[in-house]
Structure formats: C-alpha cells, structure tokens
Structure 1
Amino acid sequence: MDTEQLITFEQVVREGSFSRAARTLNLSQPTMSTRIQALEEEIGGPLFVRGGRKVTLTERGESFLPYARRALEVLHEGREVAQLTQEGQRGRITIGTIESYSTGFLAATIANFHRSHPEVEIFVRTGHSNQIEHMLYDGVVKLGLISWPFLNPDLTEIVRFREPLVFVAPPGHPLTQQQTVTAEDIHLLARPLLIVHHSFILHDILARIYPHPERTMELPAQTACELLRQGVGAAFIARTVIARDLAAGHVVELQVRDIPASYLECALVRLARNQLAHTATNAFVTTLADQAGTMCIHPARNEK
C-alpha cells in the first residue's frame, strides 16, 4: 500500500467516477485501474461496486475510507511540519541550565524566541553543572548552560557569557544610607548576607567577611530575590537576575569600595559528537547571544 494508491482511491470516492478521477489526477485509465486493483489485493477484496453510472463503495470500501483519509491527512500534516521545521518554525529545543541561570537573560530569550517562533516547543531542565552533563549524555537535553570554565573534553562551547555581579539591598536597609560601602560595612550591617548559589566566585572574600555561617543564608537566586523584596538581607547577585527589581525600586544597587568587581561566567555547550543541525536550535542560539548583548564574549555561530 502506498500514498498514490490511497490518493487514487479517495479521489474516485470524491468524484464518484473512475474517468473523472483520472482526469483530475491526470492519469490514464490503465494506471487508475492498476492502482485500485493493487490496493484491493492488499485490503483483501473489492472496494467499489462496479457497474452503473456512479461508482459506489462496497461495505469493505466504506469501512476503509475513513482510515485512508486519516492516513492522507497525517501525511499532509507531516509534510507541512517537516517544511516548517526546515525553515526553523517548528521543532523542539531542549536545554539544561543551572537554576540561577534560568532567570535573567535566559528567560528573556525564551520569551523573545517564542514571539517569533510560536510553534517551536521549548523544554528547560535545571540542575548542577555535572547533572546537566549527564542530561546531555542521556539525550534528555541537546544544549546545556553551565559554569565556565568546564573541564569535560566531550563538551563543545557554542557561546560564552560574562555577567557582572552587583551588590544590592532593599530600600531603607542600613547599608543604603550611603552610596558606597566597604566589606566591613557588609560584615556589620548585612545580617543576613544572602549568598546566592552563583556567587561562589566570591567564596574566599565572603568567607573572610562572614566567618560565622549563622550570619548568612545560602539560597537559590529566585528565593534570594523574594527575600530582598520582603526587605530581608543583602546580596551579591547577577545583574540580569535582579534587573526587574532594580527597575521597580524593590532593591538598591550599592558600590563596594574594597571588593573587586566580580563576574559570573557561563557557557552554552553541546556534546562534541552532536552537531546542531536543527534550524530552530540555531535560531535559538542566535537569539540567546543577541539577548545577552555585551555579556556575550564568545559570539554564537550557526553550526551545520
């Protein structure tokens, strides 16, 4: 059974005539007969009642017709989806990311990408860098947003980002009484200091400021943001994660005189053995790099 046989069968039913169906399909009468006979042999009996001016279906033909039409509809939909996928308008993007990276520019990227590619499915999984590597190996995700630098030789860097960490506190917090603060000010007044998971790059400095763990809270980025909105604590946090709260006045950015500027670096990676042949995935990578703007320090490239 093939598509041409199903098309011929359905057209004969639609026209009610072998000759009219042959003209519509631009086929010779022998070709029409050959296709219908081959289909009837596979189905196991006649599909049409021969004779009379109008062709009618046998009971076998009537029972087979809805399935033939459904098969043709599915094939048509499949061709459309394949074409849209080739054009980058359909498909599936799977990405694993560290939880603290899932907000900020990644969330903004997904929103922008969805507006231009509404039919593309996007699945995001969160975990630590080593968990994301396992997701890549297991095929759960095709892309990973992990901490940089990474040591795994099986991973290929697609694009890298460098984002500044900022020190923030809620309005009215004692630290906000001055425009610049020192590590000593933070030690005395930022109780508790909210240590966001991605601020590990400040670990040594924070350990000197806060040698006593009971004066700190170690939290995911989203939890830290909510506590700051509630007026609790102060934190070093990635700028894009806290950008909306800064704009809304929920927190105030403070300059720290004696702590060097620090940056969060992450990389979008794939398994080296897997090429990004999917057009939608390449479009997503480009959108991610565009959204990151000046934070992008290793430009994205389309991969064939």
Structure 2
Amino acid sequence: MATHESLETFDLVVFLTVARAGSFGTAARELRLATPSVSARIATLEHKLTTQLFARTARGSTLTPAGERLVPYARRCLDLLGEAHQAVGTEASSRLILAAPASLGTELFPPVLKILSDSSLQAHCRVAHSREVIDLLLDGTADIGLVINQAFPASITAHNLCRSRLLTVSHPRHPLAEQPSVSIDALSTSRIAVYRWNPDADILAEIFEYPRRPPERPVQLLGLPSVAIELAIKQDYVAIIPEFAAVDSLRAGTIVELSLTLPRWSLDVQLAYRREAAQTNAVKTLLANADAIAAGIQQD
C-alpha cells in the first residue's frame, strides 16, 4: 500500500490564505508571519505533494491547476477538524451536520433548526452545491443533506420530500403579465433568468436561445433563485425559478406568475444521509418530521 507524507494543518491554513490573498506577502501580514516563513511552508507542502501549487510572478501568486484542485480538499479538511473540536464532549447521537445548496438552505435551515432545537438536538449547517453535498456525505463531513434532482451511490439513502414545479414569473408591470396565454416564442425578446439547479437547466435555457435574440436581451443562468427574482423585480427579466423559492415574493405581490407552463420540468427536493447514520437521534427526528419540512417549501 502506498504511503504518503502527513500534511500539517497549519500548512493548509497558509495555503488557503495565500490562495485567497493572491500573494505571499499579503498572506504573511494576515497570518502575522514573516514572508520567508510563508514561502517555506508552501515549499514544504509542495514537496510533500510532489507538485507546484502556485505560479509566482512579479504581480503575485496564482494557483496552478494542481493548486486549484487542492483548495476544496483543504477547506474540507479544516472544516472537519473544526467540527471535531466542537463535537468533543457532545453525544454523537444528538449532533447533526446538515448540508444544502444555498437555494434550499434559505428556505429549509430555519424550520430544520427549529425541529432539532425542539428536540434538544444540536445542528451545524453547511452550504454546498447539490453534487458537493453528496461528496460531503460520502466522506463523513456531513450527516444529512438536502439536495435537488440527484442520483445517489449505494451507500447513501434518499427520501423525496416534495416535488416543486418550475414557475415563470415577472414583476406585475411586465408586458407579459397581463397576457392570458404566454408561449415560449413570446419570450424571444425578453431578458430571461433561469435558475441553474444542475446541468439539466442548461437544456432548459437553450429553449430560449433564439438565433436572432438581441444581445441586450440575454438568457442568464443563475445559481440562486433569489438573484433571478431580483432581476425580475428590478431589471425587467422573466425568471424561471422553483415554486419553493417564489412563495414569499408571490405573496408579497412583488412578482406574478405568467401563464407559460413548463410541464416537463420539475425539481425533486431530496433528503439524503449515509446508511450508518440512520439510527442517530438527529436523523430519526428529521425523518419523522419530513412532512413538516416539506410544508416549509411548498405553497399553501
């Protein structure tokens, strides 16, 4: 079996600081170290990994492709160590690491935290893309995840919370808001913002990419439905977003649903966890309250 030199935790801290700061000198000032010390630690890390992590130039330091690949792993290692410190002295069965994409976390973290708090259980929330949430479950960094339209490996169990249809919305004064029927062709000259829940959304966006679409009327793909709603309200966009993200704005009257339906498209909101975590108090509590959690992201 291959052996690897152990990595120092602080070397990973230094690495991430340099990656964010863009220079060894700036990172040294932030860490209150001498610049040669930062350089020496990065050199040691590069030696242990047998690869160059930064390209040094007169203007600063930029990540090499290998450095870019290391960034998420370094962050996860440090996050996991931080959570280990927090876990000491806490019953494992009463503690939950919950991960979700920002689009779901905005809606679900508050009711989930209340459910756990009412049961005297502790929770720590993390934000990651749906695919990254599955990776966090697989490596044990998260105990339970909330994701959208994902396939799972055999070691992960998934529970479908609800299905959320995609809505086409605009601000109430948009020219299409008064139309009794809106077709896809009618959006050919509208600015469009499509929520990108995963690569399937690229296919949806292509439906609106007409060859002669004016450049000032783009089709934008966005990772957060809230940003699409802001564009609809403030910049005259038509937004295509999941129903769970539109509820509050529809109730407030800041957006309205257009009559265009997209019958092929809906999003499954899924609760996922590692099989060995199924018997923990926290996971059992969330599963027992799955209907209440789903109600928090469905329109009344």
| TM-score calculated relative to the size of structure 1 | 0.58
CA deviation profile, 1:189-208 (whole Å, cap 9, x unmatched):
x21x0011127545434313
- State the partner residue of 1:125: 126
Residues paired across the two proteins, number: 205
User: 1:175–1:112: structure 2 CA closer, same or farther, 3 Å change rule?
Assistant: farther
User: Which residue of 87, 95, 100 corresponds with 1:92?
Assistant: 95
Q: Secondary structure at the residue paired with 1:223? A: helix
Counterpart-to-counterpart distance in 2, 1:96 and 1:116: 20
- What letter corresponds to residue 255 of structure 1 in structure 2? S
Q: Secondary structure at the residue paired with 1:270? A: strand
User: 1:295–1:249: structure 2 CA closer, same or farther, 3 Å change rule?
Assistant: closer
Q: Percent sequence identity over matched residues?
A: 20
- What letter corresponds to residue 230 of structure 2 in structure 1? E
Q: Are the equivalent residues in 1 in contact too, given 2:147–2:270 (CA < 8 A)?
A: yes
Q: Are the equivalent residues in 2 in contact too, given 1:228–1:250 (CA < 8 A)?
A: no
Aligned 1:114-193 pairs, distance under 5 A: 116-117=118-119, 119-188=120-189, 190-191=190-191, 193=192
Q: Secondary structure at the residue paired with 1:141? A: coil
Deviation, structure 1 residue 145: 1.8
Deviation, structure 1 residue 228: 2.8
Gaps of 5+ in 2: 1-88
User: 1:111–1:256: structure 2 CA closer, same or farther, 3 Å change rule?
Assistant: same
Counterpart-to-counterpart distance in 2, 1:110 and 1:97: 12
User: 1:98–1:208: structure 2 CA closer, same or farther, 3 Å change rule?
Assistant: same
Root mean square deviation, CA, Å? 3.0
- State the partner residue of 2:59: none
- State the partner residue of 2:195: 196
- State the partner residue of 2:206: 207
Deviation, structure 1 residue 111: 5.6
The higher radius of gyration belongs to 1
Q: Secondary structure at the residue paired with 2:231? A: helix
User: 1:134–1:294: structure 2 CA closer, same or farther, 3 Å change rule?
Assistant: closer
User: 1:225–1:144: structure 2 CA closer, same or farther, 3 Å change rule?
Assistant: same
- What letter corresponds to residue 101 of structure 2 in structure 1? I
| TM-score calculated relative to the size of structure 2 | 0.59
Q: Are the equivalent residues in 1 in contact too, given 2:116–2:285 (CA < 8 A)?
A: no
User: Which residue of 87, 90, 104 corresponds with 1:101?
Assistant: 104
Q: Are the equivalent residues in 2 in contact too, given 1:163–1:263 (CA < 8 A)?
A: yes
Aligned 1:5-84 pairs, distance under 5 A: none
CA deviation profile, 1:233-262 (whole Å, cap 9, x unmatched):
1111111111000000010011215x4252
Displacement over 6 Å in runs of 4+? none
- State the partner residue of 1:269: 272
User: 1:230–1:121: structure 2 CA closer, same or farther, 3 Å change rule?
Assistant: farther
User: Which residue of 252, 257, 261 corresponds with 2:256?
Assistant: 252
Q: Are the equivalent residues in 1 in contact too, given 2:193–2:220 (CA < 8 A)?
A: yes
Q: Secondary structure at the residue paired with 2:142? A: coil
- State the partner residue of 1:289: 291
Q: Secondary structure at the residue paired with 2:254? A: coil
